[in-house]
Chains A and B, each alone.
Chain A
Amino acid sequence: MDTVLGIDLPTWWFLLIGALISGYGILDGFDLGAGALHLFFRKEESRRIALNAIGPVWDGNEVWLVIGAGSLFAAFPLVYGTILSVFYLPFILFLVAIIFRAISIEFRSKEKMKWWRKLWDISFCVSSIAISMLLGLILGNLIQGIPLNANHEFVGRLRDFFNPYALLVAITVLSLFMMHGAMYLIMKTEDRIFARLTIIANNTSKFFILCFMATSLATLIYVPHMTAIFKDYPELFVLPIGAVLIVLNIRRSIEKRQYRRGFVSSSVTTALLLILFAMGLYPNLVLSNIDPKGHISIYEAASSDGSLRTMLLFAFIGMPLVGMYTVFMFWTFRGKVKLEEHSY
């Protein structure tokens, strides 16, 4: 098999797509979380400050979703088609929420009427919550595995997706993003909204720790295959232990008022949870819960070596560029948010 630096091409793409999805989780995660918290801010000025904290960057954050999905399409087309068509309605609702969220941000400031702004505030908050939970719902089902027969054909029903474990993961993802969003906003604000956010950050982090413990427990009990890897490689236990320590560190940094450290911690938490998921999957991308022959592995789903190799070259050129744009964007809009004439 074709390898680059000793790693075979499908594995390269497994890692790259994992990195892109983690990047998406970290970046869009905080602005989705900020959206989910939006209605907690009562005053018009606070809402504007919160919105403008993500205003210049949210669109750039969403790029990671577009690139991640595009890469999955290019590298593992079988998985792309299978996941998106099996989760047809959840993904359609996800897209609808993406549209509503984008236009809420864009349209809210365009009229002064109270009802107009309230309408888009609600739309922004609800769509942010919906996106987070739908992603969590899909993730929860992918962790458990979906009913695929030996030919990778879907033989389940839509309503099976709404099972307790998947809903728990959905709430956990929402709680993670809310905490992450609070950690971001707290860095970007001052005065009254800042004071409010210290309380919100506290509460959301407690909420997340609760969800995190519940999901971990449920995974150990109900989805043993996800933790099987630790039997073969016990040293990997360092990862979940690290995750717990980092989550606790978020609480500590709120107390110590080290907000940047808190934001970095919640970012690392997001990445670590996705890494744990990826480790449970590898070398598969989709698990079948009815027939092990139905698993879709990266080797089965991969595009041709030639295509993967060309795309890998593109990724080596393109990813540093995307990283540079992202850094430049955040650097330009560094510091606390100030409302001005171009603000939303």
Chain B
Amino acid sequence: MDNVELLSRIQFAFTIAFHYIYPPLSIGLGVCLVVMEGLYLKTKNKVYEELTRFWVKIFALIFGIGVATGIVMEFEFGTNWATYSRYVGDIFGSALAAEGIFAFALESAFLGILLFGWNKVSPRVHFMATVLVALGSIFSALWIVVANSWQQTPSGYRIEGKGMQARAIVTDFWAMVFNPSSIERYSHVLIGALLAGSFLVLSVSAWYILKKQYIVHAQAAFRIALWVAAVSSLAQLFTGSKSAEVVTKYQPAKLAAMEGHFDKLAPADMYLVGWVNAKDQKTTGIKIPGGLSFLVHQDSKAPIAGLNSIKPEDRPTAVNFVFQTYHLMIAIGMTLIGLTLFSLFMLYRKKLFETRWLMVVFVFSVLLPQIANQVGWYTAEVGRQPWVVYGLLRTSNALSQAVKAEHVLASLILFTFIYVMLFGLFLYLLNKKIQHGPDVIDSDQEEPSSRMNPVFN
């Protein structure tokens, strides 16, 4: 791997991993906002209004950083991956342009009304703006995941030209959009986003409950977010297994790496935890013998293609990395199901908010969906290597020809510096908003400790 390639890959991985913190949060939070404001319009209960206004401010902070770091991604395709851009412009470019025109425009225009329109438009129009912003972010994710899914499982195209001049041409637009993995991967990503957003609400609310502040608001928000989280974590089990089926069928090398399965054609085990020694081609750990074969073929003896059945130059090299990220994602998914179901049970028994240790767990739980989303993405992207478009274009052939290593290094240092600073500021301001809490207009719903000074001045 030459330096331009290595540095460009690091830069892309770093900038997209950082970006991927924010859009899932705003998608999940957007849905929670729709529920909160909808409940306010229906019940006219001030608590829901104050909750909505509070979470809108946090939403704005997250959304702002998401947009700023997202524009970087759009331009990086051209700056660092010019050959890739030319190769997939017909397809990836179309999806990206469609995202801009059908989703991002909707989000951004109505975000202004969501943030600043409280006294300018009627409550109904404001609610409509909230719904449109949430919908916009959901559509955004759709086009982006479609574009990425096409790279995973290309379809509806033909290749024109040869060598460095080759490019993929759309032959069937809808086959390109609904390629074999689009729906499965989109639902998986979308639900991951709902988990990220709802667990942020759960974490902050649990913290207020522990501190005995804004109890009424915190409990109301907790209930809303707990339902979103519980339904989502159960649904994630389903979309996760659907995604795995698609990988099995279309990306055998990735599947083999996910389970550390080397043998050419043999029944494959399923690991709960483990370690892959890629050198000796050995995987050790706690496993269900024949588990993967059973899952894929409903027969624990059925053979599954291992990494050795794939040409060495076409195999992902970071097998243990893919294995670990994949298993961490599953472990977190299972934890979330257990946690939310147990909490619903406690809610039903009316003991949930009195169980301090559980509230402590929820304060920290915000990290779990974030980690799961990140490692899930790593599994998908690293598992696809050495291809940038699976089976068609190698990552090493996708680079910009005009760019020098020292330029990429300079930009990488610049982005690292800015993103570290940005993340620090984000946490600082988020913490500040949480410490401040919702602005309570009607004081007899709250304990005297509630603060009433307005945020902005």
Q: How far, in Å, is A172 (CB) from chain B's closest CB?
A: 24
A63 touches B80 (CB 8 A): no
CA separation between A106 and B58, bound complex, in Å?
Answer: 11
A60 touches B112 (CB 8 A): yes
Q: Contacts A80-B93, A321-B105 known; A109 to B71 CB distance under 8 Å?
A: no
Using an 8 Å CB-CB cutoff, how does the interface string of B385-421 with A read, 1 for contact, 0 for none?
0000000000000001111000100110011001000
Contacts of B457 in A (CB 8 A): 112
Using an 8 Å CB-CB cutoff, how does the interface string of A297-310 with B read, 1 for contact, 0 for none?
00000011011001
Question: Which of A57, A103, A325 makes the CB contact (< 8 A) with B65?
Answer: A103
Using an 8 Å CB-CB cutoff, how does the interface string of B83-120 with A read, 1 for contact, 0 for none?
11111111111101111111011101111110111111
Which one of A30-38, A68-76, A180-188 is at the interface? A68-76
Since A65-B71, A110-B429 are in contact, a sample of 8 more A-B pairs with Cβ atoms closer than 8 Å, ordered by chain A residue number, is A59-B108, A60-B109, A67-B104, A303-B169, A304-B170, A306-B170, A307-B169, A322-B105
Best-buried of B80, B82, B401, B407 by chain A (most CB within 10 Å): B82
Q: Does A341 contact B (CB under 8 A)?
A: yes
B75 touches A306 (CB 8 A): no
Question: Which of B93, B407, B454 makes the CB contact (< 8 A) with A303?
Answer: B93
Contacts of A84 in B (CB 8 A): 75, 77-79, 82, 85, 400
In A234-265, which residues have CB < 8 Å from any B CB?
none
A106 touches B61 (CB 8 A): yes
Contacts of B117 in A (CB 8 A): 56, 332-333
List 21 A-B pairs, Cβ < 8 Å. Answer: A56-B115, A59-B67, A63-B109, A70-B96, A73-B93, A74-B94, A77-B85, A82-B82, A84-B75, A99-B72, A102-B67, A103-B68, A106-B65, A112-B457, A158-B407, A303-B94, A307-B90, A307-B94, A314-B102, A325-B105, A343-B456
CA separation between A107 and B429, bound complex, in Å?
Answer: 8
Q: Does A200 contact B (CB under 8 A)?
A: no
A residues whose Cβ falls under 8 Å from a Cβ of B:
55-57, 59-60, 62-63, 65-67, 69-71, 73-78, 80-86, 88-89, 91-92, 94-96, 98-100, 102-103, 105-107, 109-110, 112, 153-154, 158, 303-304, 306-307, 310-311, 314-315, 318-319, 321-322, 325-326, 328-329, 332-333, 340-344
Question: Which of A106, A154, A310 makes the CB contact (< 8 A) with B402?
Answer: A154
A325 touches B110 (CB 8 A): yes
A307 touches B71 (CB 8 A): no
Q: Does B432 contact A (CB under 8 A)?
A: yes
Contacts of A63 in B (CB 8 A): 100, 104-105, 108-109
Number of interface residues of B (CB under 8 A): 76
Q: Contacts A84-B75, A314-B102 known; A333 to B94 CB distance under 8 Å?
A: no
Q: Does B235 contact A (CB under 8 A)?
A: no
B residues whose Cβ falls under 8 Å from a Cβ of A:
60-61, 64-65, 67-69, 71-72, 74-75, 77-94, 96-102, 104-106, 108-113, 115-121, 160, 167, 169-171, 173, 400-403, 407, 410-411, 414-415, 418, 422, 425, 429, 432, 454-457
Best-buried of B115, B170, B457 by chain A (most CB within 10 Å): B170
Q: Contacts A89-B407, A92-B411, A329-B109 known; A80 to B78 CB distance under 8 Å?
A: yes
Question: Which of A59, A74, A304 makes the CB contact (< 8 A) with B111?
Answer: A59
A81 touches B72 (CB 8 A): no
CA separation between A67 and B121, bound complex, in Å?
Answer: 28
CA separation between A51 and B91, bound complex, in Å?
Answer: 39
Contacts of B121 in A (CB 8 A): 332
Q: How far, in Å, is A265 (CB) from chain B's closest CB?
A: 25
Contacts of B111 in A (CB 8 A): 59-60
Q: Contacts A59-B67, A102-B68, A307-B90 known; A81 to B82 CB distance under 8 Å?
A: yes
Q: Contacts A88-B407, A107-B425 known; A342 to B115 CB distance under 8 Å?
A: yes
Task: Specify the chain A residue showing the minimal Cβ separation from B96.
Answer: A70
Task: Specify the chain A residue showing the minimal Cβ separation from B77.
Answer: A73
CA separation between A95 and B419, bound complex, in Å?
Answer: 12
A307 touches B170 (CB 8 A): yes
A341 touches B456 (CB 8 A): yes
CA separation between A106 and B84, bound complex, in Å?
Answer: 34
CA separation between A328 and B110, bound complex, in Å?
Answer: 9
CA separation between A96 and B422, bound complex, in Å?
Answer: 12
Task: Specify the chain B residue showing the minimal Cβ separation from A56.
Answer: B112
CA separation between A85 and B116, bound complex, in Å?
Answer: 38
Q: Contacts A57-B112, A85-B80 known; A75 to B93 CB distance under 8 Å?
A: yes
Contacts of B97 in A (CB 8 A): 67, 70-71, 73-75, 311, 314
A110 touches B432 (CB 8 A): yes
CA separation between A325 and B418, bound complex, in Å?
Answer: 32
CA separation between A325 and B100, bound complex, in Å?
Answer: 13
Contacts of B115 in A (CB 8 A): 56, 342
CA separation between A70 and B75, bound complex, in Å?
Answer: 9
A85 touches B99 (CB 8 A): no
Q: Contacts A83-B78, A86-B402 known; A325 to B116 CB distance under 8 Å?
A: no
Q: How far, in Å, is B355 (CB) from chain A's closest CB?
A: 34
Contacts of A344 in B (CB 8 A): 456
Question: Which of A69, A96, A110, A304 makes the CB contact (< 8 A) with B414?
Answer: A96
B120 touches A66 (CB 8 A): no
Q: How far, in Å, is B18 (CB) from chain A's closest CB?
A: 11
A67 touches B101 (CB 8 A): yes
Question: Which of B78, B113, B160 makes the CB contact (< 8 A) with A56?
Answer: B113
Question: Which of B74, B90, B110, B456 makes the CB contact (< 8 A) with A70?
Answer: B74
The 9 closest A-B pairs by CB, nearest first: A77-B89, A84-B78, A81-B82, A74-B93, A56-B112, A325-B109, A85-B400, A318-B101, A70-B97
Best-buried of A69, A77, A96, A99 by chain B (most CB within 10 Å): A77
B78 touches A85 (CB 8 A): yes
